[in-house]
Amino acid sequence: MLAFILRRLVHSIVLLFALVSFVFVVGRVIGDPALIMLGTNATEAALQQVRENLGLTDPIWKQYLVFVGDLLRGDFGTSFRYGFSVLPTDLLRAEGTPVLPVVLERLPATFMLAGAALGMSFLLAIVMGCLAAMHPRSWIDHLVNVISLASVSLVQFWFGLILILLLSVHLGLFPTGGYGTWQHLILPALTLAARPLGRIAQVVRSAMLDELAKPYVVAARAKGVSETRVVFVHALKNASIPIVTITGDELSQLLTGAMLVETIFAWPGIGMLLIDSLSRRDLPMVQAGIFVVAALVVMINFLVDIAYTVINPRIALDSREIN
Amino acid sequence: MSQIVGNPTVEPAEPDDRAATTSFTDYLRALLRDKVTAVAALFLLILLVAAAGAEFLAPHDPNAANLRARFIPPLGTARDGTFYLFGTDELGRDVLSRLMHGATVSMSIGLLGAICSAIVGVSLGILAGFYRGKLEIVLMRAVDGMMALPSLLIALFILFVIGSGFANLIFIFTLLHWMIFARMARSLTLSYKEQTYVTAARAVGASDLRIILTHILPNMISPLLVLFTLEIAVLILSEASLSFLGFGVQPPRASWGLMIARGREYISSAWWLVVMPGAAIFLAALCLNLVAAWARAISDPVQRWRWLTKPSTEKDAT
pLDDT digits 0-9 by tens, A214-260? 888 889 889 988 888 888 888 888 888 888 888 888 887 888 888 88
- Chain B environment of A253 (Cβ under 8 Å): 150
- Chain A environment of B274 (Cβ under 8 Å): 158, 161-162, 165
On the question of pLDDT at A142 being above 70, the answer is yes
- Predicted structure pTM score: 0.84
Question: Is residue B168 less than 8 Å (CB to CB) from chain A?
Answer: no
On the question of pLDDT at A87 being above 50, the answer is no
CA distance B68 to chain A (A): 26
Q: What is the DSSP string of A286-303?
A: HHHHHHHHHHHHHHHHHH
Mean pLDDT of chain A, nearest integer: 81
- Chain B environment of A31 (Cβ under 8 Å): 161-162
- Chain A environment of B317 (Cβ under 8 Å): 136
Task: Please say whether the beta carbons of B219 and B188 come within 8 A.
Answer: yes
Q: Given this model, what pLDDT does residue B318 score?
A: 38
User: Mean pLDDT across the stretch B117-126?
Assistant: 95
Separation of alpha carbons B78 and B40, rounded Å: 33
CA R_g for chain A: 24
Task: Please say whether the beta carbons of B277 and B221 come within 8 A.
Answer: no
Closest residue of chain B to A170, computed from CA coordinates = B268
CA distance A44 to chain B (A): 19
Separation of alpha carbons B15 and B266, rounded Å: 62
Task: Please say whether the beta carbons of B189 and B210 come within 8 A.
Answer: no
Give per-residue pLDDT as tens, B299-318. 777 666 665 665 544 444 43
Mean pLDDT of chain B, nearest integer: 82
Count the neighbouring beta carbons within 10 Å of the beta carbon of residue A182.
9
Residue A315, burial from CB neighbour count under 10 angstroms (0-12, 13-18, 19+) = middle
The distance between the two most distant Cα atoms of chain A, rounded to a whole number of Å, is 84
User: Mean pLDDT across the stretch A22-41?
Assistant: 78
Q: Given this model, what pLDDT does residue A54 score?
A: 72
Contact map slice: A 258-297 vs B, CB within 8 A = 259-260, 263-264, 274-275, 278-279, 286, 290, 293-294, 297
Question: Is residue B145 less than 8 Å (CB to CB) from chain A?
Answer: yes
Give per-residue pLDDT as tens, A262-283. 988 888 888 888 888 888 778 8
Altogether, the residues listed in chain A come to a count of: 323
pLDDT band at residue A318, thresholds of 50, 70 and 90?
Answer: low
Least confident of A75-79, A250-254, B24-28, B56-60: A75-79
On the question of pLDDT at B228 being above 90, the answer is yes
Task: Please say whether the beta carbons of A109 and A179 come within 8 A.
Answer: yes
Task: Please say whether the beta carbons of A286 and A274 come within 8 A.
Answer: yes
Residue bearing the bigger pLDDT, B8 or B285: B285
Q: Given this model, what pLDDT does residue A39 score?
A: 72
Task: Please say whether the beta carbons of B149 and A22 come within 8 A.
Answer: no
User: Mean pLDDT across the stretch A291-306?
Assistant: 85
Q: Given this model, what pLDDT does residue B303 score?
A: 64
Strand-pairing partners, residue B76, are B84
CA distance B280 to chain A (A): 10
Closest residue of chain A to B285, computed from CA coordinates = A153
Separation of alpha carbons A309 and B145, rounded Å: 20
Residue bearing the bigger pLDDT, B260 or B61: B260
Contacts of B200 (CB under 8 A, 6+ apart): none
- Chain B environment of A275 (Cβ under 8 Å): 245
Domains recognised in chain B with CATH numbers: 33-308 (1.10.3720.10)
Residue A54, burial from CB neighbour count under 10 angstroms (0-12, 13-18, 19+) = buried
Kind of pairing between the strands at A97-98 and A78-79? antiparallel
CA distance B89 to chain A (A): 17
Identify which of B148, B160, B268 has the shortest CB distance to residue A15. Answer: B148
Separation of alpha carbons A105 and A225, rounded Å: 50
Contacts of B183 (CB under 8 A, 6+ apart): B121, B125, B140, B143, B147
CA angle B185, B187, B192 (to 5 degrees): 90
CA distance B168 to chain A (A): 13
% of chain B at pLDDT higher than 70: 87
Q: Between chains, do A152 and B289 touch, taking CB under 8 Å as contact?
A: yes
Residue B149 three-state SS: coil
Q: Given this model, what pLDDT does residue A96 score?
A: 63
